Chains A and B, each alone.
Chain A
Amino acid sequence: MWIGFSLLMPDCFSLSFLKDLHWCGVCMSVAPPHPHTNTDSFQEELVVRPLHSGDIYASFQFRTVWEADFSRGNKVSHYQLFPKSLGQVISKFSVRELHISFTQGYWRTMQWGQPFLPSPPGAELWVWFQDSVTDVDGTWKELTNVLSGIFCASLNFIDSTNTVQPSAAFKPLGVGNVTDHRFLRYATLPREIVCTENLTPWKKLLPCGSKAGLAVLLKSEKLFHSSFHSQAVHIRPICQDQRCKSTSLELRQTLNAVFDLHTSGQAKREWSLFKMFSRTLTEACPLASSSKIYIDITDNSQGEQFELSPASSLLSQAVVLGDRRTFSVYDLTDQATFGSTRSLNLLIRDMLRPLLHAERYVAGYGLQTGEIHTVMYNHHPYRSFPVLLLDSVPWYLRLYIHTLTVTSKGKENKPSYIHYQPSKDRLRPHLLEMLVQLPPNSATEVTVEFERALLKWTEYTPDPNHGFYVGSSVISSLVPSTVATNTSITQEQPLFSSFFPCKEELSYFVRVYTEPLLVNLPTPDFSMPYNVICLTCTVVAVGYGSLYNLLTRSFQIEEPSPGLAKRIANVIRRMRGVPPL
Chain B
Amino acid sequence: IYLKIFLLLRRRGKLAALSIAAMVILVGVPLWWKTTQTYRAWLPVAQINELAKLQLQLSADVEVVFARGTATPEQQKKVPVTQTQDEDHAVDEDTTLRYRHETRYRTATVMEEDALKQPTAAEADLSLHRLSESPCGSLVIYVIPESSSLLPENVNVYIGQRRTALLRIGAQMKVGKTLKQLLAHLEPRVKQILQVMSFSHNDITAALSDRVRFSPDNKESIADSMRAFKSSPGYEITFSLLNPDPKSHRLHWDIEGAVQTYIQPLLTKLSPVANFSLDSQILYYAMLGVNPRYDSSRSAYILNADSLAHVINPVEARLGSNAASSNPVLNFLLYVPDAHHSPLYIHDHKKREVQTNAFHSPRWGGIMVYNVNGFYQTGTNFPVDVNINMAKVMGVFLAQLRLLLGVQSTAPPSSFQVAPCGSSGLADWELDRLMWSRSVENVATATTTITSLAQLLDQIGNIVINDNIAQQVSSAVTSLQLAVAELEVGNLGFALQYSKEAILASEKAFFDPSLLHLLYFPDDQKFAIYIPLFLPMCVPILLSLLKIVSEVRQRRREKQAKKD
Contact = CB atoms under 8 A, between A and B. Distances in A.
Contacts of B358: 8
A209 B423 contact: no
B260 A33 contact: yes
A534 B532 contact: yes
Interface stretch (A79-87, A223-231, A260-268): A79-87
A144 to B, nearest CB: 12
A33 B281 contact: no
B255 interface: yes
B308 interface: yes
A149 interface: yes
Contacts of A13: 409, 411
From B322, B399, B425, residue with most partner A Cβ within 10 Å:
B399
A7 B346 contact: yes
Nearest to A554: B9
Contacts of A175: none
A92 interface: yes
Contact of A28 (B363, B395, B421, B423): B423
Interface stretch (B13-21, B97-105, B493-501): B13-21
A139 B443 CA distance: 33
Interface in A261-290: 283, 286-287
Nearest to B399: A14
Contacts of A19: 420
Nearest to A4: B362
B429 to A, nearest CB: 15
B425 to A, nearest CB: 7
B14 A552 contact: yes
Interface string B420-445: 11110100000000000000000000
A5 B365 CA distance: 10
B245 to A, nearest CB: 9
B164 interface: no
A157 to B, nearest CB: 16
Nearest to B16: A551
Interface string A486-530: 000000000000000000000000000000000000000000001
A564 interface: no
Interface in A67-106: 77-81, 83-85, 88-89, 91-93
A541 interface: yes
Contacts of A287: 246, 284
Given A25-B261, A33-B254, A552-B544, A209 B2 contact: no
B289 to A, nearest CB: 11
B322 A8 contact: no
Contacts of B14: 552
Interface residues of B, number: 85
A212 B248 CA distance: 14
Interface stretch (B181-189, B272-280, B516-524): B272-280
B13 A211 contact: no
A21 B398 contact: yes
Nearest to A201: B320
From A9, A19, A77, residue with most partner B Cβ within 10 Å:
A77
B256 interface: yes
B6 A5 contact: no
From A7, A36, A548, residue with most partner B Cβ within 10 Å:
A7
B416 interface: no
A10 interface: yes
Contacts of A8: 354, 356, 358-360, 366, 396, 399-400, 403
B38 to A, nearest CB: 18
A262 B398 CA distance: 61
A537 B348 contact: no
A85 B359 contact: no
Interface stretch (B46-54, B113-121, B471-479, B533-541): B533-541
Contacts of A540: 533, 537
From A8, A287, A544, residue with most partner B Cβ within 10 Å:
A8
Contacts of A207: 284
Contacts of B396: 8, 18
A553 B14 CA distance: 8
A25 B395 CA distance: 11
B362 A5 contact: yes
A323 interface: no
Interface in A1-52: 2-10, 13-14, 16-22, 24-25, 28, 30, 32-34, 36
A541 B536 contact: yes
A555 B16 CA distance: 14
B511 interface: no
Nearest to A200: B317
16 contacts: A4-B309, A5-B361, A5-B362, A8-B396, A10-B356, A33-B261, A36-B256, A77-B278, A77-B280, A79-B282, A80-B282, A88-B323, A88-B324, A150-B323, A551-B16, A552-B540
Interface of A: 2-10, 13-14, 16-22, 24-25, 28, 30, 32-34, 36, 77-81, 83-85, 88-89, 91-93, 146, 149-150, 204, 207-209, 211-212, 283, 286-287, 530, 533-534, 537-538, 540-542, 544-545, 548-549, 551-557
Interface of B: 2, 5-6, 9-10, 12-14, 16-17, 20, 223, 226-227, 238, 246-247, 252, 254-258, 260-262, 277-282, 284-285, 305, 308-309, 312-313, 318, 320-325, 346, 348-349, 354-356, 358-364, 366, 383, 391, 394-396, 398-400, 403, 409, 411, 420-423, 425, 529, 532-533, 535-537, 540-541, 544
